[in-house]
Amino acid sequence: MERTSMYSRIIAGTMTWGKWGKDFSVEEMISLMNHCLALGVTTFDHADIYGDYTNEDQFGNAFSKSGIKREDIQLISKCGIQFKAETRDNKVKHYDYGKDYIVWSVERSLRKLRTEYLDMLLLHRPSPLMDPNEVLEAITRLKKEGKIRHFGVSNFTPSQIRLLETVVPVEGNQVEYSLTSNSVMYDGTLDDCMSNNRLAMSWSPLGVYFKENTEQTKRIKTVLHKLCDKYGVTEDQLLLSWILRHPSKVYPVVGTTTPKRLESAIRSTMLQLELEDWFLLLEASNGHEVP
């Protein structure tokens, strides 16, 4: 898969566009979509559960009225999580990766998003009851019918991916990765993406830096402030550039809905952290020098 030509280097995360965040009007969504496109952000990340299963419909309604051509954007969505919501009669939060549910969920996403295909479908979180053969049947059918173009996972470990790959190729993995949460650099997750040419995507790429005041974030702040002066950039740009420097070529899923923050994210792709500065930030995050 030619990853760099298919998806924008910064991916727009839509989780807070609707009920779980800003609850944008149709006009506001269209405006944000167009702003993304003007910046070169053409990939939009969804999940069926966002907004208690309502976000895709809101986005799709705005998209259908925007005049934006389908071939000018890429749509990623996820399925598999079932939880208690007004629109679902579930007794308990669980995961469903039966072939019928996967197909049903994708077809529902297509209707809601007003599109004929997803550029990539992701299984949202691993389930202990996942049967790879059920997944294979669903993905084979969906690809044959042209309803999905690529298939990947989210939050899967390398061993869970290996299980799936006994029957079906996995083309991407979207995981939590940031300066404050960087375990995927050590547990084989990013190594797996590199060695198997999977699209590596990072959700919550800024981590908890702007959300929590901990010993970790205090240490990072001290280093960041010095580097902001050195490079003439902002804290969020340095945090993004830190994960962008990893050789797995991680694609950050940026959840901001603020135009200026989106512009800032784009500028981070042009920043190349010096090697020792990268390790200074890692040391600040971990609280000790590397072994």
- Known catalytic residue: 50? yes
Catalytic residue among 7, 50, 53, 209: 50
DSSP-derived secondary structure letter, 197: T
- The vertex-178 CA angle with 175 and 181, nearest 5°, equals 85
Q: Which of 95, 97, 60 is nearest to 75 (CA)?
A: 60
SS3 label, residue 43 = strand
CA-based R_g, the chain, Å: 19
* Strand blocks (E) in the chain: 11-13, 43-45, 74-79, 81-82, 94-95, 118-123, 148-154, 172-176, 199-203, 251-254
Burial of 101 (0-12, 13-18, 19+ CB in 10 A): middle
* Strand blocks (E) in 141-287: 148-154, 172-176, 199-203, 251-254
DSSP-derived secondary structure letter, 207: T
Q: Which of 97, 105, 103 is nearest to 49 (CA)?
A: 105
CB 78 within 8 A of CB 155: no
* Strand blocks (E) in 124-158: 148-154
Strand pairing partners for 13?
Answer: 45
Q: Which of 150, 225, 153 is nearest to 193 (CA)?
A: 153
Residues carrying an active site annotation: 50
